[in-house]
Amino acid sequence: MNTKRQLSLLISPAVIFFISIFLALTVSPGLAQQKVDPSKPLLVVSPFTHETVIAKMPVGWFMANRFRQGDTCAMQFLPAGETADTLTQMVTITTMLDLQQKVNAKEFMQAVIKKMEESKGEAELDLKPISENNPNDVMFEYSVKYPPNKKALFPNQYEVQRIIAGKDGIHTIVYHVRKASISEKERADILQFMRGVHLQSLPIEAPGKSTKGT
């Protein structure tokens, strides 16, 4: 599957609920690394809406990709020195403008989980909710592992996904690790990062409209 096709799978409205499965496969091998200061964290300010996603990336991480189609926008980040061929971790921040008018974050999560369960094939899928009391801000974790005697459709992986429904749209933050099992320390660090992500409103006229088409 080529990169162009991978990106279309991610951002096509018809398959938007497959985001969790395909995020691990969408980094372009031809992307050049941006210059980063490995001693400082990267502060990510999503520019797509007036209600921006603020994330303090781990030290040394850089933006590897940024793309947009219609009302769906995404940014992908890798650790310093990693590429599409060598990545061990990845963070993807996706915004789907106006989707909050149709579903809340919990309903979106339930739809994602349902699609994952339906499409897992012969993979071992382990899903666990982390927080779901607030219907507009939920988080869950899952691991995917293929038995040694089965053909893998995608890499073994562990992910935490947080879904926030704001005023402008649905925002997803996915922390991907390209292995099915992680240590308690690794999990604690991931959850600390995920819980630190937040939305911040910026004073821009016509929220979510002025940036369309950019």
Q: What is the pLDDT of residues 174-213, one digit of tens each?
A: 999 999 899 999 999 999 999 999 888 765 444 444 444 3
Residue 205 lies in a domain: no
Mean pLDDT score, 158-173: 93
Residue 64 lies in a domain: yes
In this prediction, residue 40 carries a pLDDT of 59
Residue 12 lies in a domain: yes
Structural domain count of the chain: 1
Residue ranges making up the domain that contains 172: 6-20+40-200
Summarised one tens digit per residue, pLDDT across range 109-145 is 999 988 888 888 888 899 999 999 999 999 999 998 8
Residue 127 lies in a domain: yes
The per-residue pLDDT of the chain, averaged, comes to: 76
Residue 207 lies in a domain: no
CATH number at residue 12: 3.40.1000.10
Residue 85 lies in a domain: yes
In this prediction, residue 153 carries a pLDDT of 73
- Give the residue with greater pLDDT, 80 vs 16: 80
How far from 4 is each of 32, 114, 142, 164, CA to CA, in Å? 17, 26, 27, 27
Closest-CA residue to 95 (of 161, 26, 48): 48
In this prediction, residue 36 carries a pLDDT of 54
Closest-CA residue to 146 (of 174, 160, 126): 126
In this prediction, residue 186 carries a pLDDT of 96
Percentage of the chain modeled with pLDDT above 70: 71
Contact yes or no for 95/167 (Cβ under 8 A): no
Residue 147 lies in a domain: yes
Global confidence as pTM: 0.76
- Give the residue with greater pLDDT, 202 vs 11: 202
In this prediction, residue 7 carries a pLDDT of 33
Query: 1 pLDDT exceeds 70?
Result: no
Residue 138 lies in a domain: yes
In this prediction, residue 109 carries a pLDDT of 93
Q: Give the 3-state secondary structure of residue 42.
A: strand
